Structure 1
Amino acid sequence: MNDLPLAYTITPPLSPLTGRVSPPGSKSITNRALLLAALANGTSRLTGALKSKDTVLMARALREMGVTVEEPDATTFLVTGTGRLAAPPRALFLGNAGTATRFLTAAVATIEGTVIVDGDEDMRLRPIRPLVDALNSLGIAADAPTGCPPVTVRGTGHFGTGRVEIDASLSSQYVSALLMAAPFGAGPVEVALTGKDIGARGYVDLTLAAMRAFGAEVESRDDGSWLVQPTGYKAADFHIEPDASAATYLWGLAALTDGAIDLGVPANAFTQPDAAAQALIAAFPDMPAIIDGSQMQDAVPTMAVLAAFNNRPVRFVGIANLRVKETDRIRAVANELNRIRAGLAREEGDDLVVNADPSLSGQTLPARIETYHDHRIAMSFALAGLRIGGITILDPSCTGKTYPEYWDMLSGLGVELTATE
């Protein structure tokens, strides 16, 4: 399904969905591994990798900075670097890839020269000011006039030294970006939070594990600071685990159809924080009345759609950061649930309340779901079509950002998808 239609209408299946599905590789880990391998001296083999819009954009940007990135098969990257990035001939364009944009904004500071990091119209609305301010505090000249991309970075060939503080309340990616560039400091670099608030701390743990796999020496000093030695990186072979965020759709479709999907990996084998959603999804239709989504943010849209069919209303808290993702996901989820049935969801401050209605199951409620160019809105609301007739997902191709085979997967399990205009 490479050439996707403008929309898909989903026919609810008449029997439980069963089978084995291998989720794609983790986007978060793939983009971390691509960058670290590019910064290393030598050739690294990355297996189990995700090939999607976001990782393709990262790989292309690295090639523009003198890194050799080969793709011998559908899930492998061979990355050969010299231990340094070179100034690209043009601005780096990264679409709406948040990980690539934040990570490279810090990494290009190690280049001796000026680099512009830019994205599409949606990326130009996503905040990056805290990261820019942190770079400036290290003596790296960086500027983002709007507080969002494009960012102009004037690198001096190293990453400074000493202590850098970062406000990570909007995104843990700011912390990961600084940490991954820090081994190129002129001396040890201490990365410290300005407060204890941090979006999805578990993703910093992913960063630290990947850095250590490529030879970095990084010490966690307390809950809010890390000391990184100026070691650079060494080439390594690195396996990327399946994507836990993608797994939430598989767990969700099994729950909604009373089915059973074998992912080939147990939930407790994931190191990504979104895997914590599995236990909550497994409780369906008796999910708890309050769910703290702060450490599993990408799983919230999936759980919110399931909550529409739950036996009791669900309030999602700790999710303010969802407002600055690919779209304002709190508003988008509320809008589209209400498009299915008025009053099904509401925003209360930065909380999302889903007014569960088990009687929705089996009804036909024609609704054209706006996806806002957001892959997670498209994939999560497709799950609603497993219980409600008439659900149409607009712009299904947006799932290519992280799960290019999503619709093939649904079709392969027996879900009928009708192409519509």
Structure 2
Amino acid sequence: MGAPHTATVVPPGFALQGKVAPPGSKSITNRALLLAALANGTSRLTGALKSDDTRHMSNALRQMGVTVDEPDDTTFVVTSGGYLQAPEGPLFLGNAGTAMRFLTAAVATVNGDVTLDGDAYMQKRPIGPLLDALRAGGIEVSSATGCPPVVVKGNGSLTAKTFEIDGGLSSQYVSALLMLAACGTAAIDVKLTGKDIGARGYVDLTLACMQAFGASVEVVDDVTWRIAATGYHACDYVIEPDASAATYLWAAQALTGGAIDLGVPDDCFTQPDASAQRVIAAYPAMPAVINGSQMQDAVPTLAVLAAFNNTPVRFTELANLRVKECDRVQALHDGLNAIRPGLATVEGDDLLVAADPALAGSHCDALIDTHSDHRMAMCFALAGLKVSGIRLLDPECVGKTYPGYWDALRSLGVTVNMAERSA
């Protein structure tokens, strides 16, 4: 039998109890990997995530002359001269959005041309605003479509004085420019052209990580940071568990009335998606309106949970979800309606989940297209805890950020059946 093509979660019929340690934070791991690569010396990153996304980042850094050792399943040891070298060939980054955006900025420091490319999904993900900001800062960049592949022509020196970006489009653009800015020949201001940031909490994560690696950041005003030309210094850095991954476990606990020990207190997370815990704890009386802009990766979890809530839920400010690994607003709409027609509707960038507690214990014949998006696979697996018959396409895509997801569910007593998709 070949690789499985569908997964079916069998409703357990009992409260899930046990201990599951979430993997390390993807967001923090990829930031720390890049900053360690830009730092002179050896950095030890512990508690790190090993997944498709971090593999693409670490492999790209290796292509640019950085030594990245992996002594165990949760550690990276990164040794660098404090700079990136021009790679011999293109950097292939799969569908790793953080790696693509962060490296597109970082390779501006390379002396030579760098091509960054990804898979078919990545080639549809916009990066034009970041390229415009780099170009305005004097960096030669090009893309035929406004999406990858991207070509950056570096001269080994960063002389920009200012980078300006609309942070409302993606916090990753802001983070990419902030991390690059410490590599300048003089201080660089990173300015927002508007006051909104797609997920400000992720920018705070970036700044904290930069400062741990020796960067000096001055907050000039609400929309401007001044980054000194310090470069980065090697350090040992501990990465916290992934809050986005934790949302699936919190939701599984809520849906089954269980008690899942994550090994860390709920309030230990500094990542934005951790705010979803309070919303999940309110189930089955979730708020009538949930603003998804500051906890974007938690929205799929919350939307599936809302399907079983006592009252309808409207999710607002989801525009950024349309340019993730897939159009998550549409994918959530389609998946929920495959479970029960009329369960979800879309109004602009809002998602309305009708909510139907009577779904629990029902059966459906739903084949849900995950669009090879790890978050679609993991969130709709939660629906399988309460509704039988749900089949998920491409379950292996969870490897992007949580390779052990299916094993985690099994460790709690959940049956997960993998099968070839019938023709």
TM band (smaller chain)? over 0.9
Please list every run of 5 or more consecutive structure 2 residues that lacks an aligned counterpart in the other structure: none
How do 1:66-85 and structure 2 match up within 5 A? 66-85=65-84
Deviations 1:114-171 (A, max 9, x none): 1111111100111101110111111110111211111111112122231211112221
Deviations 1:363-399 (A, max 9, x none): 1112111100100000000000000011111110000
Structure 2 partner of 1:391: 390
Give 1:202's aligned amino acid.
Answer: G
Separation in 2 of the partners of 1:402 and 1:82?
Answer: 29
Give 1:368's aligned amino acid.
Answer: L
Separation in 2 of the partners of 1:158 and 1:263?
Answer: 45
Deviation at 1:4, TM superposition (A): 5.2
Separation in 2 of the partners of 1:379 and 1:64?
Answer: 32
Separation in 1 of the partners of 2:402 and 2:409?
Answer: 12
Q: Determine helix, strand or coil for the equivalent of 1:116.
A: strand
Structure 2 partner of 1:52: 51
Separation in 2 of the partners of 1:189 and 1:48?
Answer: 32
Structure 1 partner of 2:283: 284
Deviation at 1:404, TM superposition (A): 0.1
How do 1:248-397 and structure 2 match up within 5 A? 248-397=247-396
Separation in 1 of the partners of 2:342 and 2:157?
Answer: 54
Structure 2 partner of 1:180: 179
Separation in 2 of the partners of 1:245 and 1:252?
Answer: 11
Separation in 2 of the partners of 1:251 and 1:333?
Answer: 19
Is 1:170–1:321's contact at 8 Å kept on the other side of the alignment? Answer: yes
Deviation at 1:197, TM superposition (A): 2.1
Give 1:360's aligned amino acid.
Answer: L
Deviations 1:252-279 (A, max 9, x none): 0000000011111122110000000000
Is 2:138–2:160's contact at 8 Å kept on the other side of the alignment? Answer: no
Separation in 2 of the partners of 1:272 and 1:252?
Answer: 17
Separation in 2 of the partners of 1:186 and 1:408?
Answer: 48
Deviations 1:13-49 (A, max 9, x none): 1210001110000000000000000000000000000
Structure 2 partner of 1:201: 200
Structure 2 partner of 1:140: 139
Deviation at 1:222, TM superposition (A): 2.0
Deviation at 1:248, TM superposition (A): 0.2
Give 1:332's aligned amino acid.
Answer: A
How do 1:73-152 and structure 2 match up within 5 A? 73-152=72-151
Separation in 2 of the partners of 1:262 and 1:365?
Answer: 31
Moved more, 229-238 or 167-176: 167-176
How do 1:187-226 and structure 2 match up within 5 A? 187-226=186-225
How many residues end up aligned between the 2 structures? Answer: 419
Moved more, 160-169 or 177-186: 160-169
Separation in 1 of the partners of 2:18 and 2:272?
Answer: 25
Q: Determine helix, strand or coil for the equivalent of 1:142.
A: strand
Give 1:340's aligned amino acid.
Answer: I
Q: Determine helix, strand or coil for the equivalent of 2:203.
A: helix
Separation in 1 of the partners of 2:309 and 2:262?
Answer: 24
Compared with structure 1, are the counterparts of its residues 259 and 4 closer, same or farther at alpha carbon in structure 2 (3 Å cutoff)?
farther
Q: Determine helix, strand or coil for the equivalent of 2:197.
A: coil
Q: Determine helix, strand or coil for the equivalent of 2:182.
A: helix
Structure 1 partner of 2:169: 170
Separation in 1 of the partners of 2:374 and 2:132?
Answer: 30
Is 1:130–1:168's contact at 8 Å kept on the other side of the alignment? Answer: no
Separation in 1 of the partners of 2:305 and 2:353?
Answer: 9
Separation in 1 of the partners of 2:43 and 2:201?
Answer: 25
Q: Determine helix, strand or coil for the equivalent of 1:10.
A: strand
Separation in 2 of the partners of 1:376 and 1:220?
Answer: 34
How do 1:220-239 and structure 2 match up within 5 A? 220-239=219-238
Moved more, 295-304 or 113-122: 113-122
Q: Determine helix, strand or coil for the equivalent of 2:27.
A: helix
Structure 1 partner of 2:17: 18
Separation in 1 of the partners of 2:417 and 2:109?
Answer: 49
Is 1:48–1:241's contact at 8 Å kept on the other side of the alignment? Answer: yes
Moved more, 278-287 or 410-419: 410-419
Separation in 2 of the partners of 1:276 and 1:301?
Answer: 14
Separation in 2 of the partners of 1:301 and 1:386?
Answer: 15
Separation in 2 of the partners of 1:133 and 1:394?
Answer: 37
Q: Determine helix, strand or coil for the equivalent of 1:184.
A: coil
Separation in 2 of the partners of 1:192 and 1:326?
Answer: 27
Separation in 2 of the partners of 1:387 and 1:163?
Answer: 52
Deviations 1:311-363 (A, max 9, x none): 00000001110000000000000000000010000100000000001100111
